[in-house]
Chain A
């Protein structure tokens, strides 16, 4: 009797362990979605139009195009007379994915950095105080991107 109970308990324990491992593995890999976005075109000065695309094992989710603003900077002399060569900075789109265990889905969106055009101010000191400039750049996070949901129970 004791042996039977011990065996039953052991089997029950193994069953629970298997369920736990299976559940954990399922959670870790729940409906993975990857970023498959591509660039439609660029203006050559940092601003780009991106096709925001996510994909999972069941297909693609094309969420449409989105303009990510960058800028062209440089091409000026600093206050200390050093020259800053022209350069380009692009905006940045990064995918964020949030698995939803309850309904076997993943909610995803893109975190987007936008850049404003640089501004320039006069120098207040330096060897080239009269001819040099200070470049100021700035940007912001775009909150109007929205979000989407991909399902994996097809």
Chain B
């Protein structure tokens, strides 16, 4: 179904029509990025893996600067790809040698000038390319993810052991997410904490699998978290489980 949708999308969105390459960027000869403007007014950054190792994570920014018809301070968009932090669905697959990945950066309503830049890349063997601070941001997101996965696992596993109702477990997960959202944590930390909470609630409230009994829903939420945890623990470079806690926690 997803392959069919992508084919449908390509056929009708103008991506198969003429595109304008606005700029290119190459990092160490191993990764090539092209900023592309499509006829329907969308701007993408297509990153091609020319190295011999699969890519597991990337960080991209797009500076959006006012032009003649607009005003104001330049804005910055941040985009990530991380097949470790996001192990499910199409995003869960690393980018093999020779393959490309496309970041969506702007659409036809965006009137500012867009300048995209590939900031950092992490490969499956643990090697990295790009700017040190952005590599650290990618690794920090993985560490943060592992931290909140463990926190949420604790809530669910303790709740299950104590036969707590699903509502109570959901409330505890929500409280954790709310505390991060209202803290001084980074946007990335907030996204991870809120995203995990949202996923848990979708499972234990029965949204993701209505046929499952309440205790089965908790099992599925735990299973989902354990898959995430395993993926993080096996990732390279190895995460320091005893490392510093995420900012604001």
Q: Is the CB of B71 within 8 A of A60?
A: no
> Contacts A47-B5, A63-B105, A111-B195 given: A147-B89 contact, CB under 8 Å?
no
Q: Is the CB of B1 within 8 A of A144?
A: no
**Main SS of the interface on chain A?**
strand
Q: Is the CB of A116 within 8 A of B70?
A: no
- List which A89-118 residues lie within 8 A (CB) of chain B: 96, 98, 107, 109, 111, 113-117
Query: Does B123 lie at the interface of the complex (its beta carbon under 8 Å from any beta carbon of A)?
Result: no
| Top 3 A-B residue pairs of the complex, sorted by shortest distance between their CB atoms | A64-B104, A62-B109, A146-B79
Q: Within 8 Å CB of A96, what residues of B?
A: 194
Please tell me which stretch of B25-33, B48-56, B206-214 contacts chain A, meaning at least 4 of its Cβ atoms lie within 8 angstroms of it. B206-214
- List which B70-125 residues lie within 8 A (CB) of chain A: 70-73, 75-82, 85-86, 88-89, 91, 104-111
> Contacts A59-B111, A146-B77 given: A141-B196 contact, CB under 8 Å?
yes
Report the interface size for chain A: residues with CB under 8 A from the other chain.
Answer: 52
Other than the given A63-B107, A66-B104, A109-B187, 12 more pairs (CB < 8 A) read A43-B4, A61-B110, A65-B107, A98-B190, A111-B194, A142-B89, A144-B85, A144-B91, A146-B78, A148-B76, A151-B72, A153-B73
Query: Does A129 lie at the interface of the complex (its beta carbon under 8 Å from any beta carbon of B)?
Result: no
Chain A, Cβ-Cβ closest to B111: A59
- List which A33-81 residues lie within 8 A (CB) of chain B: 40-41, 43, 45, 47, 49, 51-53, 58-67, 69, 71-72
> Contacts A65-B104, A111-B194, A137-B210 given: A71-B1 contact, CB under 8 Å?
yes
- Interface of A with B (CB < 8 Å)? 40-41, 43, 45, 47, 49, 51-53, 58-67, 69, 71-72, 96, 98, 107, 109, 111, 113-117, 134-151, 153-154
- Interface of B with A (CB < 8 Å)? 1-2, 4-6, 8-9, 12-13, 42-44, 60, 64, 70-73, 75-82, 85-86, 88-89, 91, 104-111, 145, 181, 187, 190-192, 194-196, 198-199, 202, 207-211, 220, 224
Chain B, Cβ-Cβ closest to A65: B104
Q: Is the CB of A59 within 8 A of B70?
A: yes
